A and B are shown apart, each in its own frame.
Chain A
Amino acid sequence: MSDIIRRDPRAEWIMRNRLHPLHDQYMSQEEGGEVRGPSGLIRKFPHKVGFIGPNGIKRIDRLKGNSSAPKGKRSAAAQEVQLPLHKVDSPDYYIMVVADMVGGRLTGHDKDILGLAHKLIAEQGGNGAVVAVCFGEVKEENFDTAGVDRVLHIEGEAFEGYAPEARVQALAKVEAQYTVKHWLFPDSIHGGCDLASRLSARLGERPATQAWQVNAEQTVSRGASASLDITRQTPKILMLLEECADAIDETRHEATPITLDDVAVSAATIKDKGLMAVDPNAIPMAEAEFILSAGNGIHNWDQFHEAAKVLGATEGASRVAVDDGFMPRSRQVGATGTWVTARVYIAVGISGAIQHMQGIGQVDKVIAINTDAGCDMVKRAALSVIGDSEEILAELMKLAAEHKQTSLSDQAEENSNAA
Chain B
Amino acid sequence: MVIDWLPSILIVALLLIGVVGMLRRSSLWRAGRPEKVNIIAGLLAMPGRYFKDLHHVVERDKYMANTHVATGGGFVLSMVLVLVVHVFKVEQQIVAWALLAALLLMLVGAFFVFKRRLNPPERLSKGPWMRLPKSLIIFALTFIVLTLPAAGVLPEGTGGVALIAVLSIGVIIGLGELLFGMGWGGPMKHAFAGTLHLAFHRRPERFGGGRSTGLKPVDLEGDVLGVAKPSDFKWNQLLGFDACVQCGKCQAMCPAFAAGQPLNPKKLIQDMVVGLAGGTDANYAGSPYPGKEVGNAKGGPNEIITAGLVSQETLWSCTTCRACVEECPMMIEHVDAIVDMRRFLTMEKGETPNKGSEVLENIIATDNPNGYAPGSRTNWAADQNLAVMKDKKEVDVLFWVSDGAFDMRSQRILRAFVKLMKAADVDVAILGDEERDSGDVARRLGDDATFQSLAKRNLATLGQYKFNKIVTTDPHAYHCLRNEYADFDKDGALAGVEVLHHTTFLNQLVQSGALKLDAFKGGKVTYHDPCYLGRYNGEYEAPRDLLRSLGIEISEMERSGFRSRCCGGGGGAPITDIPGERRIADMRMEDASATGAELVAVGCQQCTAMLEGVVEPRPEVKDISEILVDQLVEEVH
Query: A residues within 8 Å of B by Cβ?
Result: 296, 319-320, 323, 325, 329, 335-336, 353-355, 357-358
Contact = CB atoms under 8 A, between A and B. Distances in A.
A354 B409 contact: yes
Interface string B600-614: 000000000100110
Contact of B408 (A296, A319, A355): A355
A62 B624 CA distance: 70
Contacts of A336: 355, 370, 574
Given A329-B354, A355-B408, 14 more contacts: A296-B615, A319-B613, A320-B613, A320-B615, A325-B579, A329-B355, A335-B370, A335-B408, A336-B370, A336-B574, A353-B612, A353-B613, A354-B408, A358-B407
B583 interface: yes
A358 B380 CA distance: 14
Contacts of B579: 325
Contacts of A335: 370, 407-408
A330 B612 CA distance: 21
Contacts of A353: 612-613
Interface string B563-594: 00000000000100101000100000000000
Given A335-B370, A336-B574, A323 B354 contact: no
Contacts of A358: 407-408
Contacts of A319: 613
B577 A355 contact: no
A357 B408 CA distance: 10
Contacts of A355: 407-409, 609
**Secondary structure call for the A interface:** helix
A323 B583 contact: yes
A117 B409 CA distance: 50
B615 A329 contact: no
Contacts of A329: 354-355, 577
Q: Which of A319, A325, A336, A355 has the most CB of B within 10 A?
A: A336
A408 B612 CA distance: 47
A294 to B, nearest CB: 14
A323 B583 CA distance: 8
A336 B575 CA distance: 8
Nearest to A358: B408
Contacts of B615: 296, 320
12 contacts: A323-B613, A329-B354, A329-B355, A335-B408, A353-B612, A353-B613, A354-B408, A355-B407, A355-B408, A355-B409, A357-B408, A358-B407
Nearest to B586: A323
Contacts of B408: 335, 354-355, 357-358
Shortest 8 CB-CB distances between A and B: which pairs?
A354-B408, A354-B409, A329-B577, A358-B408, A320-B615, A323-B583, A335-B407, A296-B615
Nearest to A361: B408
A71 to B, nearest CB: 54
Contacts of A320: 613, 615
Contacts of B355: 329, 336
Contacts of A296: 615
A137 B407 CA distance: 51
A355 B370 CA distance: 12
Contacts of A357: 408
A292 B354 CA distance: 23
A357 B579 CA distance: 25
B325 to A, nearest CB: 27
Nearest to B369: A336
Contacts of B609: 355
A356 to B, nearest CB: 11
A336 B577 CA distance: 11
A334 to B, nearest CB: 10
Contacts of B577: 329
Q: Which of A320, A325, A335 has the most CB of B within 10 A?
A: A335
B615 to A, nearest CB: 6
Nearest to B579: A325
A325 B408 CA distance: 26
A274 B432 CA distance: 54
A325 B579 CA distance: 9
B355 to A, nearest CB: 8
A325 B354 CA distance: 15
A301 B463 CA distance: 55
A319 B610 CA distance: 11
A325 B583 CA distance: 11
Contacts of A323: 583, 613
Contacts of B574: 336
A126 B244 CA distance: 92
A358 B612 CA distance: 16
A372 to B, nearest CB: 11
Nearest to A325: B579
A224 B577 CA distance: 35
A202 B370 CA distance: 43
A240 to B, nearest CB: 28
A375 B579 CA distance: 30
A323 B615 CA distance: 10
Interface in B75-91: none
Nearest to A322: B577
Contacts of B370: 335-336
Q: Which of B354, B408, B579 has the most CB of A within 10 A?
A: B408
A191 to B, nearest CB: 31
Nearest to B371: A339
A316 B163 CA distance: 79
A320 B579 CA distance: 14
A298 B417 CA distance: 38
A207 to B, nearest CB: 30
A354 B409 CA distance: 7
A329 to B, nearest CB: 6
A279 B465 CA distance: 55
A320 B574 CA distance: 13
A98 to B, nearest CB: 37
A37 to B, nearest CB: 46
Interface in B541-582: 574, 577, 579
Nearest to A323: B583
B357 to A, nearest CB: 13
A147 B354 CA distance: 52
Nearest to A319: B613
A355 B606 CA distance: 13
Interface in B398-425: 407-409
Interface in B333-378: 354-355, 370
A384 B350 CA distance: 44
A226 to B, nearest CB: 14
B375 to A, nearest CB: 13
B618 to A, nearest CB: 12
A323 B614 CA distance: 10
A319 B408 CA distance: 16
Contacts of A354: 408-409
B259 to A, nearest CB: 12
Interface in B609-635: 609, 612-613, 615
A354 B413 CA distance: 14
A298 to B, nearest CB: 13
A358 B376 CA distance: 15
Contacts of A325: 579
A124 B583 CA distance: 69
B230 to A, nearest CB: 32
Nearest to B408: A354
Nearest to B409: A354
B366 to A, nearest CB: 14
Nearest to A329: B577
B168 to A, nearest CB: 61
A358 B372 CA distance: 12
B372 to A, nearest CB: 10
A354 B621 CA distance: 14
Contacts of B583: 323
Nearest to B411: A354
Nearest to B575: A336
B532 to A, nearest CB: 19
B445 to A, nearest CB: 15
A338 to B, nearest CB: 10
